[in-house]
Structure 1
């Protein structure tokens, strides 16, 4: 743990000794805080320079309005949306962007508030949902949505909540927001009484009026609509989002497919050839192939010595 996190944990625990609500009040701004944006990797610069730049205006977590930087490649009516994770940025998808454009897709991505080139220092999942809504208004129904990590959770929540996407793929995604709050508690080391107050404060601040936002933010409790095919990719050794989260996701979505990898971790998985091939094949499948309301049976496919591909049907 670095010194900043250690100091933050001490502050939260000190406030918690006086009152769990005070501890939660100190912790809450830290929960939505984003580290300084990572730079664009040299290997990704050429792809980002070819992007058509734009912005979308979303309400933002403070509901004051936020401009979000967007990137677009390719042309045509078949739009694929790529959503990066926490502390990520659109440039992480550069290899996948090139593959999708070569297949004739219009590819759209963005830097969420406080990420990449977009301004701000704080954000949460509601901002991803705001971006999806703005992009849907601009481009219409999506051929597919692909999300990495936190962006994968946002994608699942968005499509379950009404975003029109024919297919979904997640890479290293958590199954619900509960994991994020539990991990945050583990990092700062505050007691369960503060955790309970954090849940209450989280619900009232980010989802006012929602009776049970944690059900709404869970693909386990609120899966994708029937007939929306899902591919969940995850690495056995992921140290950021546990591998078991992928199992929870596919178990909650009958007929979904799972690609399990070994040795790729949380971020390198985005550049692996077998992963890119599997995601591209999933996107290429026609809307007509999906059987509305029925689980699709998919035979296991061998994709290499360190990967295993399986279908999970409830």
Structure 2
């Protein structure tokens, strides 16, 4: 978190003259994911897991193969895959994982995306999240239940499309809906002028071969991607505004949704009410044989 604060300070201090190259700092501002230490209780949960390390090719930033770490609890037939959000890690789901472990016949898999948590990588991006998700699915089999938070929701949707699996239950928690608008909000907060923002988006398109507006959940999501699709949100979420979510829900009326007011974009994954609801959804699937 200290480095992220330093990046904001450095970006705010830029002069943005024609001769000043600010692209490197803006890439770091947007794509550096702060790594927070694991708390003791969460570490104990990780210690009880079977750990694994897989690899993903980072063709955009480091131009190398990055190792990322993951964790498995249980050996049940129903596979649960948890994909965390930006600046997060598998251990942040310790409360939910602990609750899910009380359910019979589950195998729970969670991982730290490249550039996040304990995994390799200085900078990260959505494609690394999605590719890591695909690698986990390819290694441990199709997931019956996929749980994603924030950017992890978009990563799961992309991985479902690439692997052609169809989960029996897809759970989205405060999903990131529009990546471009999120980038814009970050740069605006750092007082980056419009002209410099436009140049950044041009460099993004040059690097990734698609405009950042391509990464929009309303467009990436395919109707019927899962047998059942359930979504949790906080109407006051500042990171993933309700306006964008309402657009997604209006376009996909089959998606069930529930409001968790005043939980916050990051803290919602620790909310007792949300965790209880997810546990019940998973248990219902057990009873139905899905």
TM-score, normalised to structure 1, is: 0.80
CA displacement, residues 197-218 of structure 1 (integer Å, 9 cap, x when unaligned): 222211222x23x4x5532x21
Secondary structure class of the residue paired with 1:151? helix
8 Å CA contact retained: 2:134, 2:163: no
Q: 2, 5, 8: which is aligned to 1:5?
A: 8
Q: How large is the Cα RMSD of the aligned pairs?
A: 2.6
Is the counterpart of residue 151 in structure 1 residue 165 in structure 2? no
CA displacement, residues 170-229 of structure 1 (integer Å, 9 cap, x when unaligned): 112211212221122212222222222222211222x23x4x5532x2111232342523
Q: Is the alpha carbon distance of 1:129 and 1:70 closer, same or farther for their aligned partners in structure 2, counting shifts above 3 Å?
A: same
Q: Is the alpha carbon distance of 1:196 and 1:160 closer, same or farther for their aligned partners in structure 2, counting shifts above 3 Å?
A: farther
Q: 41, 44, 54: which is aligned to 1:43?
A: 41
Is the counterpart of residue 262 in structure 1 residue 261 in structure 2? yes
Structure-to-structure mapping, 1:193-232, within 5 angstroms: 193-205=195-207, 207-208=208-209, 210=210, 212=211, 214-215=213-214, 217-226=215-224, 228=226, 229-232=228-231
Determine the structure 1 residue equivalent to 2:251. Answer: 252
Q: Is the alpha carbon distance of 1:163 and 1:276 closer, same or farther for their aligned partners in structure 2, counting shifts above 3 Å?
A: farther
Q: Is the alpha carbon distance of 1:176 and 1:55 closer, same or farther for their aligned partners in structure 2, counting shifts above 3 Å?
A: same
Q: 185, 188, 191: which is aligned to 1:186?
A: 188
Cα offset, 1:106, TM superposition:
0.7
Cα distance in 1 for residues equivalent to 2:132 and 2:277: 26
Cα distance in 1 for residues equivalent to 2:133 and 2:6: 36
TM-score, normalised to structure 2, is: 0.86
Structure-to-structure mapping, 1:122-133, within 5 angstroms: 122-133=123-134
User: Aligned residues, how many?
Assistant: 280
Cα distance in 1 for residues equivalent to 2:278 and 2:218: 22
